[in-house]
């Protein structure tokens, strides 16, 4: 099985919020864009919350994220995974991103939101034990992935509103 690698972070030195996924899926990797699967509702939610609508060009959406104080990345820098499903990540193959350096470059980040349970689990297992910052607050949000079809869109949107309420 191939080793997959995440994208570079979408970042701005003034970011106050970090949204973390686990690892891009096949559609995102093929497109070279975060959350590119047509049924992933991340950009639909970001459209409603901050105006980064999915019908805008990708670079425009990223500019809106940055101007809203939101950074975007994945917990894992690489892993072996046989499909796009988080459950197919081979645990022993997971290599986390360098969050020590990331947080040093982004001292204004105080809130970390996880796009789903796997992102949170990987962060708590591989990253948090090595972090010294007690000022970070964490919150898991329902995954925007189409694999998380059991939670209706309205419920996801309601939960994701905490990014704006608590992060501003």
Segment 18-22 mean pLDDT:
95
Is 6 exposed, middle or buried, given 0-12, 13-18 or 19+ CB atoms closer than 10 A? buried
Give residue 135's pLDDT: 82
Residues with Cβ within 8 Å of residue 164, at least 6 apart in sequence: 49, 50
pLDDT at 168: 43
Amino acid 167: pLDDT? 42
Give the tokens for residue 32: 């070279």
Residues in the chain: 168
**For residues 74, 77, 81 and 87, what is the CA-based torsion angle, rounded to 10 degrees?**
-40
Place of tokens 């959406």: 61
Residue 133 has pLDDT above 80, yes or no: no
CB atoms within 10 A of CB 20: 25
Q: Grade residue 6 by pLDDT with cuts at 50, 70 and 90.
A: confident
Q: What is the mean pLDDT of residues 8-12?
A: 95
> Does the model's pTM come out above 0.85?
yes
In terms of phi and psi (left: phi > 0; alpha: psi -120 to 50; beta: otherwise), the region of 23 is beta
Mean pLDDT over each residue of the chain, to the nearest integer: 88
Domain boundary assignment for the chain: 3-167
pLDDT tier at 105, thresholds 50, 70, 90: very high
Lowest average pLDDT, out of 11-15, 24-28, 115-119, goes to 24-28
With b meaning 16 or more CB within 10 Å and e meaning fewer, what string describes 112-146? bbbbbebbbbbbeebbeeeeeeeeeeeebbbbbbe
- How large a percentage of the chain has pLDDT more than 90? 62
| Longest pairwise C-alpha distance within the chain | 42
Query: Domain spanning 3-167: which CATH class is it, in words?
Result: alpha beta
Q: Using CA atoms, how far apart are residues 29 and 34, in angstroms rounded to an integer?
A: 8
H or E stretch at 139? strand 137-141
The per-residue pLDDT for 166 is 52
Residue-wise pLDDT for 73-85, tens only, equals 999 987 777 655 5
Per-residue pLDDT at 86: 56
């Amino acid at each position: 099985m191939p080793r997959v690698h995440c994208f570079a972070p979408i970042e701005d030195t003034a970011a106050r919020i970090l949204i973390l996924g686990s690892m891009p899926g096949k559609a995102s990797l093929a497109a070279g864009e975060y959350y590119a699967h047509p049924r992933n509702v991340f950009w639909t939610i970001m459209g409603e919350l901050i105006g980064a609508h999915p019908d805008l060009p990708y670079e425009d959406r990223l500019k809106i994220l940055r101007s809203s104080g939101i950074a975007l990345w994945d917990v894992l820098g690489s892993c072996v995974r046989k499909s796009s499903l988080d459950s197919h990540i081979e645990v022993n193959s997971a290599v986390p991103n360098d969050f020590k350096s990331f947080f040093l470059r982004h001292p204004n980040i105080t809130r970390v939101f996880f796009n789903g349970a796997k992102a949170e689990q990987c962060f708590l297992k591989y990253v948090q034990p090595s972090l010294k910052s007690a000022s970070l607050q964490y919150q898991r949000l329902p995954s925007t992935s189409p694999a998380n079809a059991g939670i209706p869109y309205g419920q996801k949107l309601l939960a994701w509103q905490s990014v704006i309420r608590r992060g501003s």
